[in-house]
A and B are shown apart, each in its own frame.
Chain A
Amino acid sequence: MAHLQLDDLTKHYKQGKSVIRALDGVTLEIDDGEFVAVVGRSGSGKTTMLDMLGLLLRPTAGRLIMDGTDTGKLGDRELAHLRGTKVGFVFQEYNLLPSLNVLENVMLPLRYVNDGKDGRKRAEDLLERVDLSDRIRHKATELSGGQQQRVAIARSMVNRPSLILLDEPTGAVDTETAQQLVALLKSLNEQDRVTIVVVTHDLDVAAEAKRQIRLKDGKVIADDVVTPIAVA
């Protein structure tokens, strides 16, 4: 059984009298432990697809099945619970809360979905893993862009999700930091068997993925296994 199953997944928006086909009948499967890059030009539907995989958007038509559950049949509270337990998000702008310190930011998801055990310990371990254990009391605003993104990655992992969705995670950092972040993602993918779906314009990031899905006008126009040669 696939981890994620997109079955004719469609998202249309009405804009005046015209209809924007943000995602137009996408059908594909993503298995456990895959590292998928979603690429395409601006407006191709990448972010819409990511939002739908993250259960933030309901489809206009089609189905999204997560671990055998048809998410279209779930209510808002059930979707929120599923997001909290199975999905981790990382955004281009980090979205760390300025009023919280680093540790509190990582622990934030525990506030909404907490299995009640060792949450703080997990957050501290994750910060050690992203090499920020000496900054846990710092405010997010006191960190560099790369450090903030590592905090965001730690936050996305704190509830031990099976899927991490990243929206242009290297868009706001320099090349060297981007490479460090990609290495971190690969380690999470390989060591923790976490499924990673990353939306990116960055070819270097896409090259590190095991699979590349290319979108255009809301449709999948390519779905390839990535090899170093193919990218080169």
Chain B
Amino acid sequence: MEILRNISRRKLRSVLTVSGIVIGVLALTTMGAIAENFNALIDGGVKYFSSNVQVGPPDGQTASLLPISKIDEIKKVEGVAAAFPSYTFSAKPGAVSAVSFGFPDLIVAGDPEESNWSNLKTTFAQGHQIEPGSTGQVVLGSTIDKEFKKKIGDTIDLPVRPPDAKPDFVNHTFIVVGILNPTLTAPDTFAYLNTADGQMLLKDSLPSAIRDQIPVSAITESIDVYATPGTSIGELDKIADRINNQVTGVKATKPSVIVNSFKSGGAIFTAITTAAALLALVIGGLSVVNTMFMAVAERVREIGLKKAIGATTRHIMGEFLLEATVIGALGGLIGYGIGAVITILVNANTPQGQSTLFLLTFRLTVIALGFAIALGAVAGILPAWRAARLDPVTALRNQ
């Protein structure tokens, strides 16, 4: 209580000092929440790509098409446990993509069995997985489901017809059989189809001149290759090398290359946002230093009295450190509170179908509050040390 009364003794000064911390923590919270959101996206990519080897057409081949027979060749390579065809299409062709955090809406087609092999696990909020061998069924990610407001049993036309669609635009009707829980990463904006439906969309996407000449059931866009669960990324890299050496007409990308690219992108983004926020916070911390030095100067006689009645150097130091820490904590709580409200409001007002901008995590909460408290404490060290070292006789007679 005494600490709060001391802080409130100079109201304007205290408000200004706490405001410095508030602004810093507010910046740390909001920018940190953006970084956390970005990291969640990155983590999804890291999880997914660290569990398989991506096989596509060889360098120099412009069309992303592979004979599906390559799957059987790849399965013979040492260490390969499973391989699945994969097809990807834009869910909203021709749509203007505004600057947005997150992945665009995509149609991803493949074997539903593949989800059992991936490290990136998804769970169902409603419904179930696409039935093997079925056609016309779709599983929607949480964001794309919200965008189109679908429930189990509803139908959805994919790809979505653009307003200015050409006369030959083709899409198909699918029944929603499953809706995924949010993953905060790629699957949220994905619509999952079975392999046969993917091949149908692939045919639709081919130029009309060659559309009927290519047997789409015999081709795939890419192949996702899996080793036995728990295989290290280093071992997956070796499998990629073996595929490149043993299977012609394909290019296997080492998962470590993709994962490192994800991680470095995330690290740079986190570093930039966090550094900017920490800079603001440190500037706030300097105001705490200034305030505490002024508090010491104003309370010299009080310090002398406390020493006279039995306070040790440690007691005095502790009291001033605690006061500075409380200032940091107050600023931290208020700044975090405002930041949390802003992130919640902005996320709540994100247009349907767009990924949210912020992700408040427990880790970010601990970092924001912990840093504010630690900053207050550190900012108080020098003033507290000066207070504690005051000569009691001189302090008592200070005018």
Contact residues of A with B, CB < 8 Å? Answer: 51, 54, 56-57, 76-77, 80-81, 83-85, 88-89, 91, 93, 95, 97-100, 104, 108-109, 111-113, 155, 159
Q: What chain B residues lie within 8 Å of A76 (beta carbons)? A: 312-313
A199 to nearest B CB, angstroms? Answer: 13
Contact of A99 among B6, B304, B313 (CB under 8 A): B6
Given A99-B9, A104-B2, residue A80 in contact with residue B396 (CB < 8 A): no
Query: Could you tell me if A159 and B392 are in contact, using CB atoms closer than 8 angstroms?
Result: no
B112 to nearest A CB, angstroms? Answer: 69
Contact of A80 among B305, B310, B393 (CB under 8 A): B310
Number of chain B residues close to chain A: CB under 8 A: 21
Give the CA-CA distance A111 to B311 in the complex, in Å: 8
B236 to nearest A CB, angstroms? Answer: 62
Query: Could you tell me if A77 and B302 are in contact, using CB atoms closer than 8 angstroms?
Result: no
B19 to nearest A CB, angstroms? Answer: 22
Ordered by A's residue number, 12 sampled pairs between the chains whose C-beta atoms are within 8 Å are A56-B307, A77-B312, A80-B312, A81-B312, A84-B310, A93-B301, A97-B2, A99-B5, A109-B310, A112-B311, A113-B310, A155-B309
B315 contacts the other chain (CB 8 A): yes
Query: Could you tell me if A109 and B393 are in contact, using CB atoms closer than 8 angstroms?
Result: no
B242 contacts the other chain (CB 8 A): no
Give the CA-CA distance A89 to B310 in the complex, in Å: 10
Given A99-B5, A99-B9, residue A56 in contact with residue B308 (CB < 8 A): yes
Given A91-B396, A95-B396, residue A112 in contact with residue B309 (CB < 8 A): yes
In residues 291-350 of chain B, which contact A (Cβ within 8 Å)? 301-302, 304-315
Q: What chain A residues lie within 8 Å of B307 (beta carbons)? A: 56, 80, 83
Contact residues of B with A, CB < 8 Å? Answer: 2, 5-6, 9, 301-302, 304-315, 392-393, 396
Given A95-B301, A99-B5, A112-B306, residue A51 in contact with residue B393 (CB < 8 A): yes
Contact of B308 among A54, A85, A98, A111 (CB under 8 A): A54
Give the CA-CA distance A93 to B395 in the complex, in Å: 13
Q: What chain B residues lie within 8 Å of A83 (beta carbons)? A: 307-310
Query: Could you tell me if B305 and A95 are in contact, using CB atoms closer than 8 angstroms?
Result: yes
Query: Could you tell me if A84 and B2 are in contact, using CB atoms closer than 8 angstroms?
Result: no
Q: What chain A residues lie within 8 Å of B392 (beta carbons)? A: 56
Q: What chain B residues lie within 8 Å of A77 (beta carbons)? A: 312-314
Give the CA-CA distance A113 to B6 in the complex, in Å: 22
Query: Could you tell me if A57 and B308 are in contact, using CB atoms closer than 8 angstroms?
Result: no
Closest residue of chain A to B397 (Cβ to Cβ) is: A47
- Which of A81, A99, A108, A112 has the most chain B CB atoms closer than 10 A to its own CB? A99
